[in-house]
Amino acid sequence: MGRLIVSEFMTLDGVAEAPGHEEHRDGRNAWALAGTTEDQLQYKIHELDDLDALLLGRMTYQIREAFWPTAPTDNPLADRINSMRKYVVSKTLTEARWTNTVILSEDIPQQVAGIKQDHEGDILIGGSVDLVNSLMPHGLIDEFRLIVFPVVLGSGKRLFRDEMGTSHLRLTGTRAFASGAVLLTFEPAPEAPTSEYVEAFSFTQEQVESMQAAQNTDRVLASVLFTDIVDSTGRAAELGDRRWRQLIDRHDTAARDAVKRFHGRFVKSTGDGILATFDAPTRALRCAFQLNETMAAIGLDIRAAIHTGEIEIREGDVGGIGVHIASRALAEAKDRQVVVTRTVRDLATGIDLVFTPLGVVGLRGVPGEWELFEASTKS
């Protein structure tokens, strides 16, 4: 049975996007190539020795398909990579032009488990950050090889996404390269670590109350609006990187304008959505309705969620349980739906507002059960 190995280049701030000449949204690409030395190249060459196959996401596959088949004949990696069995995970590819490639489109965790059974040697995932994140909860990854470069990039897709489940790893090896980059090798840990220091450094009740008193000076009551684009991954695959980036720029501009119009605070873009706060739930609702119409006009469907509660004001950001509740409620929203908590329904004013019950649900990571409603306006 083969092992599934993740081998990635990563910056100190966790970015894995565009280590080579592929496009980066801020033009910060080739950061790994710029820091590569001969000893590191030799490591990557020898890494191929025990491999039976490559497993790639669609975008990483297309980047490599564009380079390796026509790479210079003296490139020490080209022959091995071109001849090796390759699996690409994609719901949109209909044919694979790269030699010895198989397309996987359904039941990916089950198919990957079968591939591991079919191979004696290792199967390597490089790049393909979304694929790595999707496979981690299924316990299919046997080893992580992370080459961490001494650079803080400041933007780009991180290797491990926000809000994913906790995974504990065990360090099995380290190696420093001449460039200052460091190889860290990990295996999944069988159980979470524990130590005497968990109790030794716990807060007393007095310390907790003192901390809360200090933090409360930065807490306010606000209505929190989260949105995201429906099937953003599919749309990005359909349009391609450049056209998708142009559409996202239009989305962000329109969202900022709508939030400003309804006297809200645009906190940040979340990549395929926004986070904004308002001093009244009705303003948040009106903004969400406007965003639905505006985004539909530029060819995007969105979904939205709103919760009114206490939040923490941070420098350039917001936090606290009120933000988490709105974020979790967003997962319950369907296409073009505005989902709100009961608090919003009880506080919002407007004779044209309609609140349709969606039932009581548990929100991941939030205590208790929450009554949700679909908000709309009378036709």
* Least confident residue range of 11-15, 173-177, 240-244, 293-297: 240-244
pLDDT of residue 227 exceeding 90, the answer is: yes
* Mean pLDDT value of segment 32-44: 95
- pLDDT score at 126: 94
- pLDDT score at 291: 96
DSSP 8-state class, residue 204: P
Q: What is the 3-state secondary structure (H, E, C) of 123-188?
A: EEEECCHHHHHHHHHHCCCCEEEEEEECCCCCCCCECCCCCCCCCCEEEEEEEECCCCCEEEEEEE
* Least confident residue range of 65-69, 169-173, 300-304, 365-369: 365-369
d(CA 16, CA 31): 10
pLDDT of residue 317 exceeding 70, the answer is: yes
What percent of the chain has pLDDT above 70?
A: 99
d(CA 375, CA 183): 50
CATH class of the domain defined by 214-377: alpha beta
- Report yes or no: 351 and 318 within 8 Å, Cβ to Cβ: no
d(CA 15, CA 366): 29
pLDDT of residue 232 exceeding 90, the answer is: no
Tokens of 211: 């901390």
pLDDT tier at 42, thresholds 50, 70, 90:
very high
pLDDT of residue 379 exceeding 80, the answer is: no
pLDDT of residue 72 exceeding 90, the answer is: no
* Mean pLDDT value of segment 147-160: 94
DSSP-derived pairing of the beta strands 169-176 and 122-126? unpaired
- pLDDT score at 217: 64
CATH class of the domain defined by 4-188: alpha beta
- pLDDT score at 277: 96
d(CA 115, CA 123): 9
pLDDT of residue 212 exceeding 80, the answer is: no
d(CA 269, CA 276): 9
d(CA 244, CA 184): 34
Q: In the chain, where are the structural domains located?
A: 4-188, 214-377
* Mean pLDDT value of segment 136-155: 96
Q: Which residue has the tokens 């190539």?
A: 33
* Mean pLDDT value of segment 199-215: 85
Beta bridge partners of 62: none
| Whole-model pTM over 0.85 | no
Residue 170: C-alpha distances to residues 82, 144, 215, 270 (Å): 33, 10, 35, 31
pLDDT in tens, 87-134: 999 988 888 889 999 999 999 999 999 999 999 999 999 999 999 999
Nearest by Cα to 344 from 278, 258, 290: 278
pLDDT of residue 73 exceeding 90, the answer is: no
d(CA 276, CA 253): 14
- pLDDT score at 358: 95
pLDDT of residue 213 exceeding 80, the answer is: no
- pLDDT score at 79: 86
Total residues belonging to the chain: 379
Mean residue pLDDT of the chain comes to 92
* Mean pLDDT value of segment 33-54: 93
| AA identity, residue 176 | A
